[in-house]
Amino acid sequence: METTTERRPTDRRKQVLEAASRSFAAFGYKATTMDQVAKTAGVGKGTIYTFFANKEELFEQIVKDLIAELKAVAERTLDPALPFADNLLNILQRVLAYRDRHGLVVKLSQEVKEFGTPMANGGLESVERSIIAYIAGHVSAAIEKGELRASDPSLTAYMMLKMYLALTAEGGHLHTPLDGERVLASFRFYCLEGLAVR
Amino acid sequence: METTTERRPTDRRKQVLEAASRSFAAFGYKATTMDQVAKTAGVGKGTIYTFFANKEELFEQIVKDLIAELKAVAERTLDPALPFADNLLNILQRVLAYRDRHGLVVKLSQEVKEFGTPMANGGLESVERSIIAYIAGHVSAAIEKGELRASDPSLTAYMMLKMYLALTAEGGHLHTPLDGERVLASFRFYCLEGLAVR
DNA sequence: GAATTGACTGGAATGTTATTTTGGTCACTT
DNA sequence: AAGTGACCAAAATAACATTCCAGTCAATTC
């Protein structure tokens, strides 16, 4: 694997990635054609196959880049001075908002609902798993710092994401959608404080 | 041509419901035909339309009957001597197990995944809403008895169901499935006790 | 004459075949 | 060596033919 960005007269790999990124976000997985990507990138189709074994690998690289973006948003949001709960809420809010505004995610979600494209579904799951893994890391740290009760960090992170998404009504229209303030308050209530009387 | 099933002219409506129930459970909504129901019920097709305006209404009646069954299971499970949390867990466990073993629900779920049949989806949502409403009633009572902290009972019931389902891994294969004991313990932990240190 | 029936209908679903599209290759050019 | 685009088989899509089915209603039964 080539290490860093060598200065080539024309960095074809980057051109391909750029064109593919735009195309996947605009048309989804299956409606993106390799011919189209090649033409948009100003590159012969064969060239794409010198960098990526096939369409799937190209797509996976695009998803990886998106995950890196999300991680960057999270890191930018993180404030070590704040308690865990505040950071968690801020990160969930910012990262999920960014995700839901990102063309690729929006398009892939639509594609999964409409056609059930397995590759699109896999991409979204990959993003979700990464978010859970990221949160799990911080849950781990919070437990060690005594900011959270002991638990399986991975399961806890999964539950946190599920609860947050349930509140933001992505799942079903089974309750009246809450505004941002109520989402935060409810999440604190249900996830952190618990329903038992104390 | 007909094995001598005794004909009770007054029973026609019941015969239709019985045949429809079996057919919807065996073949789902769209693969069930009115001709088939009529033949199975030993009744002319026109007769069905004297009791039900159309296929949708017939289906809705079948779903209503299922909901009544689930409510009966819940009532049978309920033990007024037990604290709220125990009843909640018992009821969720029994009702959802019954639901997941019920032919109609299983078939409709498959149909939604495979074809996205709107009527099948509506039926399942109807069942889910009924479960939430039922739990919400008991949440309300538990709050008044001081067994639960104050909250919106309907939202709380919704969250309880979502959390329970998240733990039983119906949603996604994003965490290793838990056995029955762990589901109960985790539900108590995440939903009732909360993650905050105390 | 009220209750019941099943042949009938049109619009939708499904099967079938013809045509086009597209992921991937590779002989050729630069 | 790096890059290209015409080419190919397989898959997707379109076009058309056929079957299916929810709902109706004139005829039949009791």
Q: The domain spanning residue A43 has which CATH number? A: 1.10.10.60
Is residue A33 located within the same domain as residue A79? no
User: How much of chain B is in helix, strand and coil states, percent to nearest 5?
Assistant: 75, 0, 25
- What is d(CA A43, CA A63) in angstroms, rounded to the nearest whole number? 22
Residue A198 lies in a domain: no
**DSSP 8-state secondary structure symbol assigned to residue A29:** T
The per-residue pLDDT string of chain A (198 residues; one tens digit each, 9 = 90 and over) reads 333 333 344 688 999 999 999 999 999 999 999 999 999 999 999 999 999 999 999 999 999 999 999 999 999 999 999 999 999 999 999 999 999 999 999 999 999 988 889 999 999 999 999 999 999 999 999 999 999 999 999 999 999 999 999 998 765 667 888 888 999 999 999 999 986 666
- What is d(CA A108, CA A123) in angstroms, rounded to the nearest whole number? 8
Residue A141 lies in a domain: yes
Residue A3 lies in a domain: no
pLDDT given for residue B176 in this prediction: 80
Residue A113 lies in a domain: yes
The nearest CA of chain B is from the CA of A76 a distance in Å of 25
**Whole-number Å distance, CA B76 to C1' D14?**
57
CB-based contacts of B112, cutoff 8 Å, min separation 6: B120, B121, B124
Is residue A65 located within the same domain as residue A151? yes
Q: CB atoms < 10 A from the CB of A44, how many?
A: 12
Q: Is B192 close to A194, i.e. CB distance below 8 A?
A: yes
Residue B13 lies in a domain: no
CB-based contacts of B183, cutoff 8 Å, min separation 6: B164, B167, B168
Q: Whose C1' is closest to the CA of A44: which nucleotide?
A: D4
**DSSP 8-state secondary structure symbol assigned to residue B10:** G
Q: Please give the residue of chain A at the shortest CA–CA distance from B173.
A: A125
Question: Domain containing B187 — which CATH number?
Answer: 1.10.357
Number of domains in chain B: 1
Residue A84 lies in a domain: yes
Provide the domain limits for residue A68.
55-193
CA distances from B119 to A194, B39, B56, B126 (A): 36, 23, 8, 10
Residue A2 lies in a domain: no
CB-based contacts of B78, cutoff 8 Å, min separation 6: B87, B90, B91
pLDDT given for residue B175 in this prediction: 80
Residue B95 lies in a domain: yes
Is residue A108 located within the same domain as residue A88? yes
Instruction: Divide the 198 residues of chain B into consecutive groups of 10 and give the mean pLDDT of each group.
Output: 39 92 96 95 93 96 97 97 95 96 95 92 96 97 94 95 88 76 93 77
For A89-121, write each residue's pLDDT tens digit: 999 999 999 999 999 999 999 999 888 899 999
Is residue A171 located within the same domain as residue A135? yes
Is residue A136 located within the same domain as residue A118? yes
